[in-house]
Structure 1
Amino acid sequence: MERIVGIGDYAISDKEDDIIKTIALGSCVAVTVFSPSRKVAGMVHIALPFSVLPNEDRAKPCYYAESAVPFLINKICREYNCLKTDLSINVIGGAVSIRKDDLFRIGQRNVEVVRQKLRELDLPYDDSETGGTCSRTLTMEVSSGKIRIDSRPMII
């Protein structure tokens, strides 16, 4: 079964025939988590680095990097009995706008906050597919944790 992860959403699966997918990451960031020993995979699609409204990160924990990272890690470890030391983690996305007036640098700030949260949790990660000016669609196989990334030039 294909599970589509929308903006500010997440998916976790332990069904080996499942595929987890998110579409057209621009400045948004996806964090993928895979436990090879438990055969559990998870993904979150983060829109913004942090909330500026009180308690908004509690109402929408996967929308913001500051809350999405601990949310996904805690959920996969508690509900699927995965060990933090067994997790393979990837950070993907966080593109910069091709426009010269990208004042808010949302993509870059999303990546920075995700990295900070993963460091606070003492979790290693691969972030080699971040930045740039491309839109990324990614597909993750639950059975193997294999990630396929389809990159396209951004038009805005």
Structure 2
Amino acid sequence: MNTDINLQAGEAYFGKAPKRIRTLLGSCVAVTVWHSELKLGGLCHYLISERKDNTNSTKSGDYKYGKQALAFLKQQMMCNADLKEYEVGIYGGSNMYNSESSSTIGEKNVSYAHQWLKQLGLNAKNEDVLGEVCRTLILDLSTGDVHLKRYQQEQ
């Protein structure tokens, strides 16, 4: 029997099957990791890539910044297996607000996830990013399946 873990923005989870991790994304980004043999993995849901003031201090368990959220995932992954044994996915990063700036919050969040993967020498197996949609994401730790539902913004 699966147990659902519901993550809000700024939260992360790493654990073993049988669990399903679910979250709702807009401009935020979720990075998923899953190990097929060990049947474990996790998901982080961050709002923005880094703090503007360049400090590292955040409350324990506060993963609203990509830097802290992805560091948590990396640490959990390394405790269980070689990083290259995980399947990784990147989701979200939509343009949810009318933005005239050169790059949107979502674009910056997606770019940060791509940089993180590149630093680790990993590639995303699955990716559904950018656009102007909300997404519901469910990661099943028993199978590694990602269930994704996209919702158009109401005008």
* CA positional deviation for 1:65: 1.6
The one-character-per-residue Cα deviations of 1:74-110 (angstroms, maximum 9, x if unpaired) are: 11321xx122121000000000136253666100000
Please say if residues 46 and 66 of structure 2, whose CA atoms lie closer than 8 Å, have aligned partners that are also in contact: yes
Q: Distance in 2 between matches of 1:60 and 1:103?
A: 32
Q: Which moved more, 1:55-64 or 1:66-75?
A: 55-64
- Root-mean-square deviation over aligned CA pairs: 2.0
Deviations 1:35-68 (A, max 9, x none): 0011102000010011113224575662112232
Corresponding residue for residue 45 of structure 1: 45
Answer yes or no: is 1:64 the counterpart of 2:96: no
Residue in 2 that maps onto 1:134: 133
Residue 124 of structure 1 aligns with which residue? 123
Q: Could you tell me how far apart the structure 2 residues matched to 1:143 and 1:59 are? A: 28
- Counterpart code for 1:124: N
Q: CA deviation at 1:11?
A: 1.0
Structure 1 stretches (4+) deviating beyond 6 angstroms? none
Provide the C-alpha distance between the structure 2 equivalents of 1:100 and 1:123, rounded to a whole number of angstroms.
31
In structure 2, the CA distance between the partners of 1:5 and 1:83, relative to structure 1 (3 Å rule), is same
- Aligned pairs for 1:45-124 (under 5 A) are 45-53=45-53, 54-57=55-58, 62-78=63-79, 81-97=80-96, 99-101=98-100, 105-124=104-123
In 2, distance between residues paired with 1:76 and 1:126? Answer: 16
State the distance in 2 between where 1:41 and 1:59 align: 20
Which runs of 5 or more residues in structure 2 are unaligned?
none
Alignment of 1:26-37 (within 5 A): 26-37=26-37
Match of 1:143 in 2: 142
Count of residues paired in the alignment: 152
The residue that corresponds to 2:20 in the other structure is 19
Structure 1: gaps (5+ residues)? none
Aligned equivalents of 1:106, 1:46: Cα separation in 2: 11
SS in 2 for 1:118: helix
User: Could you tell me which amino acid in structure 2 is paired with residue 133 of structure 1?
Assistant: E
1:152 match: 151
Kindly provide the amino acid, as one letter, of the partner of residue 68 in structure 2. S
Contact between 2:89 and 2:126, CA under 8 Å: does it hold in 1?
A: yes
8 Å CA contact 1:98–1:154 kept in 2: the answer is no
CA distance in 1, matches of 2:118, 2:73: 15
Q: 1:102 to 1:148 in 2, by over 3 A?
A: farther
